[in-house]
Structure 1
Amino acid sequence: MAESVLFSVAESLIGKLASLAVEEASLAYAVYDDLDQMKQTLSLIKAVLLDAELKQHQNNELREWLRQIKHVLNDAENVVVDVECEALRKHVINIYGGFSRKVRHFFSTSNPLVYRLRMAHELKDIIKKLDKVASDRQKFGLQINDVDTRVVHRRELTDSHVTDSEVIGRDDDKEKTLKLLLKDESEDESLSIVPIVGIGGLGKTTLAKLIFNDEIIDNSFSLKIWVCVSEDFELRNLLVKILSSALNSTQEMYKNLEMQQLKNHLRNTLAGQKFLLVLDDVWNEDRVKWIELKNLIQVNGNGSKVLVTTRSHSIASMMGTESPYVLQGLSRDDSLSLFVKWAFKEGEEKRYPQLVEIAKEIVGKCVGLPLAIRTLGSSLFLKINIEDWEFIRDNDIWNLPQKDDDILPALKLSYDQIPSYLKQCFACFSLFRKDFDFVTGDILVLWEALGFLSSPKKGQTLDDVGNQFLRELQSRSLLQDFVDLGTACGFKLHDLVHDLSVYVAKDEFQILTSPNQSISNDVRHLSSIDNEFLGQAPIPKSLKSIYFPMGANNEGFLNSLLSRCKYLRLLNLEGSEYESLPHSIGKLKHLRFLSLSNNENLRKLPGSICNLQNLQGLSVNGCIKLEKLPKGIGNLINLRQLHITTKQSNFPKEIANLTSLEILSVYDCYNMQSLLEGIQLPSLSSLSIVNCGSLKTLPLHVIPNLENFNIFNCHNLELSKSLDNKIFKLRLKSICLRSLPQLVTLPQWLQGSVNTLRSLVIQDCCNFEELPGWLSALVCLKTLSIENTPMLVSLPDDMCCLTNLEYLHISDCPDLCERCKPEVGPDWPKISHIKRVFIEEVAEE
């Protein structure tokens, strides 16, 4: 419910009102007293919001009061952000106005006198509404609580690989399912399909993972394939997923193939193999579609098996050749053990017998569902106040009407226990489809654009704050398949957790999945999965973010949107087919993130885009026809992220004005010969350069705070010579060198990061033949990955000096893999001290 995040919205708004930029702008436009009055009234309202949130379920009038506050706060936020934008506009004029008439022309639409009168009028109206709701608070008898004490206690993170020790109560289920899969059917020419069936949240996928990763499966099947099916049972998409998993490659490799090519590729891949194919989370009830897939994968009769997980007994019967294995809920004892595992540190439960007794009552209401048990246990992690536990046990939400397989009340209780600032972040997941594979950037740009991220502490970036929020949500078991990638992470949401995000975000967040859907007047954030849905219903003027579907080309809708929705913070046109953008886009002064990624028809950006001083992220990555970046791009002084594809041969000098730039990505700039020459970017921390075959120079020493560096497929760039082998002091934490045939050894200048480098990845460098002796000086190195470097035949003798190295991955390096074989390889003693060593010899075809 959107009302449950109002405390965080009010707190953020009060912070903006207290900022120096808003204060200076308010004085300049003579609205200081109005904004100060707004701040005081907001403080009165904020003080009772937490108590109101707790009591709203029992009081319809209170719930309506909170809805009124939501609308007033939204209007107030728009006004305050408008003042921030105006302050930034004046700042840009002060910097560039002295020598550029064009800059003044950019802002000619903003008349100071007219703006002052309009702002004063809007503020008077909002203050009147705020005073009204502030006075109404007294009739509800609300308690003052000005600090959100709900904290998130982080537990130690694990990766997405499921091991037996992480799962409770499924040993017997695992053994029985393995027997079905390993049953000898060598004389049977038909393909054997074993279904696992059970309600949502029961642990079907977890059980399938346990089986998939078991050693006996590795020894019994020459090929293992995992496919998450979900609601998408289109044959073409399934073939792409199967091939990608079978060959350990990306799906992009197969998406452009013709259907017959996909079929042939699949037959060749499966031919002669005894394979195990897992089809996880199947919803398809169309038998014709299933038979079509089954006929394609039934290429031999040598004991290959398919393991299916589904919630539907009818689907299990339709697909299975074996009787479905019906998964049951956990026993009371196993349920309690699982709850205790997630609610306490190991052994701590013995100190709190009274809490354990309450836990027994809580798990009784979870009816053996592991997802509900784990999520509720996580919400109580390290909480020892008996009132917190009793609140969960005695909450009225358990009494709501629900279906037999409905675990939403348990998940909603866990959601209620997280701080307000995380609730608004969690609601954003509802804009993405189920089974979406998230990486950090997908969600962080939205949180940042909407102002959901708190101000970073000294030494932190906004991305650091966002990653911290993700880890906090993961610690509450609200994210799954969580993979920590160091500076980023990958994860998914369980279907039921996604349902929860839709439930709590209703009205304000909406994803269009049907042309007949109506759009709520209260919607602030919208996404669409099909181009046909655009323009079917009027868009609310108060819209703040919108995700266009892939292939969008409805120019009328885009023009209408830009002229109607002046408060847009995020505009995502990724994969669209527009050849140009309307000039009116320059009027979206609230816009913080604009993505035009992979718009292959876009040739030019309008100059008005340089009006967007509030813009923090701009992506034209994959816009392969884009001639150049617009003149005036240096005016975007608030820009933190810039992702570029352009036909330009030289980097625009104006980029030097982007002193806030932290992340720069340069993709497919085939004509680019020089990069960052004469340009210093003091805030830049991440640089990625991909497919820039003409690039010759890269002066890394002018980027003093660079932490993450990725360079792929830049054949003319001599990294070893770019700094004349001088060693400058650098702060690199991670570096990835990929597809660089000119690379023979590591560049000398990398020694400048001996005290900071944590991750080093070398991939597909066919002529790389030596790791230098000074590698042992990288005292902070934790991860080393070497893939497809066939010329590298041995490791340095002093690898043992890398005492902090925790993860070593070597694959597709024939001689090196042979020398590093555990226990027997001559190089094994050099690496035997490392905690996690993976040596993968790629089998010959």
Structure 2
Amino acid sequence: MCGGLPLAIKSLGQHLRKKFSQDEWMKILETDMWRLSDRDHSINSVLRLSYHNLPSSLKCCFAYCSIFPKGYRFKKDELIKLWMAEGMLKCCGSDKSEEEFGNEIFCDLESISFFQQSFDEIFGTYEYYVMHDLVNDLTKSVSGEFCMQIEGVKVHCISVRTRHIWCSLRSNCVDKLLEPICELRGLRSLILEGNGAKLIRNNVQHDLFSRLTSLRMLSFKHCDLSELVDEISNLKLLHLPSNFSKLINLRHLELPYVTKIPTHIGKLENLRALPYFFVEKQKGYDLKELKKLNHLQGKIYIEGLGNVIDPTDAVTANLKDKKYLEELHMNFCDRIEEMDESIVESNVSVLEALQPNRNLKRLTISRYKGNSFPNWLRGCHLPNLVSLELRSCEICSLLPPLGQLPFLKELRISDCNGIKIIGKEFYGNNSIIVPFRSLEVLKFEQLENWEEWLFIEEFPLLKELEIRNCPKLKRALPQHLPSLEKLKIVCCNELEASIPKAFW
């Protein structure tokens, strides 16, 4: 029955554990699924039975995975985004978000061993997943012509019914691989994977972006886009063609780390995923392209905010209404020109205008040249924030009232050399709310001018405290830290030799 295959035994066991009556077990034993046809002789009968008994929503998402070649490693959140881009996670009459529904489907497929964790020897983690070769064969059996992988130097017989393609650009015949793909007007997913710089001729680029208007997901994974050229649309280093904005149905765009965003990307109003957004030097108005991208989900890195001069452009970007974003990284970058009062005022006004949505969970602000933090960086505006990092905010002398963030668990402050004293402003003035009532991890690093830490209230749940490279800090540490488990002090030579009572 299982052919001695451990994977099949495990899959069958997981399937049977959900059946609670003798009749249900007998139906499985007597099903015709055990008798394989000639066409399916390579598909293990137990795996086929497990697939046959899946709900339709799981079948659809599983079949989509036939786009991946054998041995392909993928991340959980990346696959869920692909399902979302294809509209596979619509929950009619349900309060669940698409991410929650996708997570349930993924876990269900993992529970029957269709997805298995893959150990990363470099990082020592199980961040990636993989499908067994037999499971991969099953995906191809059930998806038919709708999904396809292209490897090698030639493309053979692409069906007009093909909707999803994974294509390796590891050969030197990139144009030959892409030309037939451009004829598939109904293509919805295109994943292009490379291992370095690839050149794509102008006419092929034009066809790719002007013909494939049904694309919902487009990925240039591990491709060095800095070598793309397009003389017709004035494409230079790290550009995409200007006619890129014709892909109005695009929902998921995966780019490598580039420094120029496609022109008119703001027209892609259905976009759900955009990892990076760069504001060009001398063209800070580009930030307005974010105005209508209110379906963006997950996380986004916004780079070059120091190039924004007019705060109304930041207001137009409308971050406050991007309610599905959960993680935001705002980098102002270093200015080459000498700092002056106008730059400071500009940074303050721009950051104040970039108020995020209330659902945000993780926030990083780096290389900010303003002299004060925004008014929205407090509990009433960011009630769901769990992680915050303030990095290289060099001329801010006072920290915002971070103690009023009700669910903040991790706080890291580094390279903020304008800070000399951390006092009552750090905790907030609300006498009703216990400051930092959820904080578990607190790290201070490279605060070169920090001299004194005033303890008005202490941290009931703090488990980890780290102070590193703060050479002028003199006053002793907080003494009442009942939950402290880990304390690390490095290169703080002036700090009084005192250990919190939690370590007595």
Q: TM-score, normalised by structure 2?
A: 0.69
SS in 2 for 1:471: helix
* Matched ranges for 1:350-499 at <5 A: 365-400=1-36, 408-432=44-68, 434-455=70-91, 461-481=97-117, 490-496=127-133, 497-499=135-137
For each residue in 1:20-57, what CA deviation from the matched residue of structure 2 results, as whole angstroms up to 9, or x when unmatched? xxxxxxxxxxxxxxxxxxxxxxxxxxxxxxxxxxxxxx
Distance 1:529 1:455, change over 3 A: same
The Cα shift of 1:570 comes to 1.5
**What corresponds to 2:352 in structure 1?**
677
CA RMSD of aligned residues (A): 4.6
1:625, distance to aligned residue in structure 2 (A)? 8.1
Q: Judging changes above 3 Å, is the alpha-carbon distance between structure 1 residues 632 and 647 closer, same or farther for their aligned structure 2 residues?
A: closer
Q: Does 1:665 align with 2:328?
A: yes
Q: CA deviation at 1:762?
A: 4.8
8 A contact 2:415–2:446 mirrored in 1: yes
The answer to whether residue 209 in structure 2 is matched with residue 562 in structure 1 is: yes
Distance 2:444 2:295 in 1: 37
Which residue of structure 2 lines up, in the alignment, with residue 655 of structure 1? Answer: 317
Which SS does the other structure have where 2:145 is aligned?
A: coil
Measure how far apart 1:670 and its partner are. Answer: 0.9
| Residues 596 and 623 in structure 1, CA contact (< 8 A), matched pair in contact too | no
Partner residue, 2:300: 643
- Alignment check: 8 A CA contact 1:797 1:830 kept: no
AA matched with 1:513: E
Match for residue 385 of structure 2 among 707, 714, 738: 707
Cα distance in structure 1, aligned partners of 2:330 and 2:128: 25
Partner of 2:159: 520
Does 1:583 find its partner at 2:246?
no
AA aligned to 1:716 is E
Letter in 2 for 1:445: K
SS at the partner of 2:193?
Answer: coil
The residue matched to 2:239 in structure 1 has which SS?
A: coil
Query: 1:738–1:370: structure 2 CA closer, same or farther, 3 Å change rule?
Result: farther
Q: Secondary structure at the match of 1:549?
A: strand
Cα deviation, 1:230-255, whole Å, max 9, x if unaligned, reads xxxxxxxxxxxxxxxxxxxxxxxxxx
Displacement of 1:755 after TM fit?
9.2
Which residue, 157, 178, 187 being the options, matches 1:543?
A: 187
Q: In structure 2, which of residues 128, 131, 143 is the aligned counterpart of residue 505 of structure 1?
A: 143
Over 3 Å counting, the alpha-carbon distance change for 1:438 and 1:717 in structure 2 is farther
Cα displacement (A) at 1:566:
1.8
- Once the two structures are TM-superposed, the CA of residue 428 in structure 1 deviates from its matched residue by 3.5
In 2, Cα distance between the equivalents of 1:623 and 1:395?
A: 60
- Assess, with a 3 A threshold, how the Cα gap between structure 1 residues 709 and 599 changes in structure 2: closer, same or farther: same
| In 1: Cα distance, 2:279 partner to 2:76 partner | 22
Q: Find the aligned partners of 2:291 and 2:214 in 1 and give their Cα distance.
A: 23
Partner Cα separation in structure 1 for residue 257 and residue 57 of structure 2: 32
Equivalent in the alignment of 1:618? 274
Distance 1:369 1:399 in 2: 17
SS of aligned partner of 2:57: helix
Q: 1:798 to 1:558 in 2, by over 3 A?
A: same
Q: Aligned AA for 1:548? A: L
1:677 positional shift:
0.6
Mark the CA change 1:691 to 1:389 in structure 2 (over 3 Å): closer, same or farther. Answer: farther
More helix by share: 1
Contact 2:428 2:435 in 1 (8 A): no
SS across alignment from 2:215: coil
Q: Deviations over 1:681-731 (max 9, x none)?
A: 44542343265364663432373344343427435385x9332x3754x45
Residues 513 and 613 of structure 1, relative CA distance in 2, 3 Å threshold = same
2:168 pairs, out of 521, 524, 529, with 529
SS in structure 2 of the partner of residue 635 of structure 1? coil
Q: 2:342 aligns to what?
A: none
AA in 1 matched with 2:254: S
On the 8 A contact 1:379/1:418 being kept in 2, the answer is no
How far apart are residue 375 of structure 1 and its match?
1.8
Q: Report the secondary structure of 1:685's partner residue.
A: coil
**How far apart, CA to CA, are the structure 1 residues paired with 2:282 and 2:101?**
33
Aligned-pair distance for 1:524?
Answer: 0.9
Per the TM alignment, residue 565 of structure 1 is displaced from its structure 2 partner at its CA by 1.7
Q: What residue is the counterpart of 1:765 in the other structure?
A: 445
Tell me whether 1:689 sits opposite 2:364 in the alignment: yes
Offset, 1:451: 1.1
Structure 1 or 2: more strand by fraction: 2
Q: Structure 1 residues 377, 653: CA separation in 2 closer, same or farther (over 3 Å shift)?
A: same
| 1:435–1:492 Cα contact (<8 Å) kept | no
Deviations 1:638-665 (A, max 9, x none): 4445623433314722122661343253
Unpaired runs of 5+ residues, structure 1, are: 1-364, 484-488, 803-807, 816-825, 832-845
Cα drift, residue 560 of structure 1: 0.7
| Deviation at residue 543 of structure 1 after TM alignment | 0.6
Question: 1:737 maps to what in 2?
Answer: 412
* Distance (whole Å) between structure 1 residues aligned to residue 82 and residue 18 of structure 2: 31
Q: 1:814 to 1:606 in 2, by over 3 A?
A: closer
Q: Tell me how far 1:384 sits from its aligned partner.
A: 0.7
Q: Note closer, same or farther for the CA distance 1:391–1:524 as it changes in structure 2 (3 Å cut).
A: farther
Whether the 8 Å CA contact 1:625–1:647 is kept in 2: the answer is: yes
- 1:493 corresponds to which letter in structure 2? V
Amino acid at match of 1:665: L
For 1:626 and 1:469, locate their aligned partners in 2 and report how far apart those are by CA, in whole Å: 46
Tell me, yes or no, if the aligned pair for 1:732 and 1:753 is still in contact at 8 Å.
no
Q: Which runs of 5+ in 2 are unaligned?
A: 120-125, 229-237, 336-346, 492-498
| CA shift in 2, pair 1:687/1:798, >3 Å | closer
Deviation at 1:393, TM superposition (A): 2.9
Partner of 1:722: 399
Q: Which amino acid aligns with 1:426?
A: F
2:219 is aligned, of 557, 569, 572, to 572
What is the deviation of 1:598?
1.1
Does the residue aligned with 1:654 lie in a helix, a strand or coil? helix
Q: 1:377 to 1:773 in 2, by over 3 A?
A: farther
In the other structure, the counterpart of 1:151 is none
Post-superposition shift, 1:668? 5.0
**Change in 2 beyond 3 A, CA 1:379/1:458:** closer
In the TM superposition, 1:792-831 aligns within 5 A as 797-800=480-483, 810=486
- TM-score normalised according to structure 1 size: 0.44
Residues 265-313 of structure 1 show CA distances to partners (whole Å, capped at 9, x for unaligned) of: xxxxxxxxxxxxxxxxxxxxxxxxxxxxxxxxxxxxxxxxxxxxxxxxx
Cα distance, 1:373 vs structure 2: 1.5
Counterpart code for 1:567: S
